[in-house]
Amino acid sequence: MQEKELIKYIKGEANPEEVKEILKWIRENKEHQKRYAILKAKYVASNLGCLDHEDVDLSYKKFSSKRNKRKSVWYQTAVAAVLLPLLIWQSYTYFQNDGLIVNQDKISTVVVKNIATNYGGQKTINLPDGSTVILNSGSSISYPENFTDTLRQVTLKGEAYFDIERDVTKPFIVQTDHLKVRVLGTSFNVKSYPKDDKIETTLVSGKVEVIQEETEAPVVLTPSQRATFHKEESDIKVDQVDSDKIVAWKQGKLVFDKTPLKQVVQDLKRKYDVEFVIESDSLLHYRYTGEFDNLSLEDVLELIKLSSSIDYKRKNNKIMLNSE
- Residue 170 included in any domain: yes
Instruction: Read off the pLDDT of each residue in 152-179 and give the average, rounded to a whole number.
Output: 92
Whether residues 236 and 117 share a domain: the answer is: yes
**Distance set, CA 12 to CA 9, 90, 103, 109, 161 (Å):** 5, 16, 11, 18, 41
Q: How far apart are CA 182 and CA 171, in angstroms?
A: 7
Q: How far apart are CA 193 and CA 200, in angstroms?
A: 10
**DSSP structure class, residue 165:** P
User: If you average pLDDT over every residue of the chain, what do you get?
Assistant: 81
pLDDT range class, residue 102, cuts 50, 70, 90: very low
Q: Structural domain tally of the chain?
A: 3
Residue 143 contacts residue 154 (beta carbons within 8 Å): yes
Cβ neighbors of 51 (< 8 A, separation 6 or more) are none
Instruction: Read off the pLDDT of each residue in 3-13 and give the average, rounded to a whole number.
Output: 75
Whether residues 20 and 73 share a domain: the answer is: yes
Residue 232: CATH number of its domain? 2.60.120.1440
Whether residues 202 and 256 share a domain: the answer is: no
Residue 127 contacts residue 151 (beta carbons within 8 Å): no
Neighbours of 108 (CB within 10 A): 9
Instruction: Read off the pLDDT of each residue in 21-39 and give the average, rounded to a whole number.
Output: 80
Residue 239 contacts residue 221 (beta carbons within 8 Å): no
Max mean pLDDT among 174-188, 239-253, 304-318 falls in 239-253
With a cut of 90, say whether residue 133 has pLDDT above it.
Answer: yes
Of 123 and 104, the one with more pLDDT: 123
**Distance set, CA 177 to CA 45, 138, 147 (Å):** 30, 16, 21
* Local structure of 40: helix, strand or coil: helix
Residue 183 contacts residue 164 (beta carbons within 8 Å): yes
Whether residues 214 and 135 share a domain: the answer is: yes
Cβ neighbors of 24 (< 8 A, separation 6 or more) are none
Boundary-marking domain end, from 245, 267, 284 = 245
Predicted confidence (pLDDT) per residue in 51-64, tens digit: 344 444 555 555 45
Whether residues 187 and 70 share a domain: the answer is: no
Q: How far apart are CA 229 and CA 218, in angstroms?
A: 12
Residue 271: closest CA among 117, 114, 115: 117
Rg of the chain, C-alpha, whole Å: 25
Q: How far apart are CA 203 and CA 214, in angstroms?
A: 22
Whether residues 258 and 300 share a domain: the answer is: yes
Instruction: Say what the pLDDT of residue 64 is.
Output: 55
Percent of the chain with pLDDT over 70: 76
With a cut of 60, say whether residue 74 has pLDDT above it.
Answer: no
Q: How far apart are CA 95 and CA 162, in angstroms?
A: 25
With a cut of 60, say whether residue 187 has pLDDT above it.
Answer: yes
Of 14 and 239, the one with more pLDDT: 239
pLDDT range class, residue 177, cuts 50, 70, 90: confident
The Cα diameter of the chain in Å comes to 81
Q: How far apart are CA 270 and CA 272, in angstroms?
A: 6
Residue 274: closest CA among 310, 307, 300: 300
Instruction: Read off the pLDDT of each residue in 173-181 and give the average, rounded to a whole number.
Output: 91
With a cut of 70, say whether residue 83 has pLDDT above it.
Answer: no
- Give me the domain span that covers residue 304: 252-323
Of 20 and 235, the one with more pLDDT: 235
Q: Is the pTM of this model over 0.75?
A: no
Boundary-marking domain end, from 95, 125, 142 = 95
- Residue 283 included in any domain: yes
Cβ neighbors of 314 (< 8 A, separation 6 or more) are 320
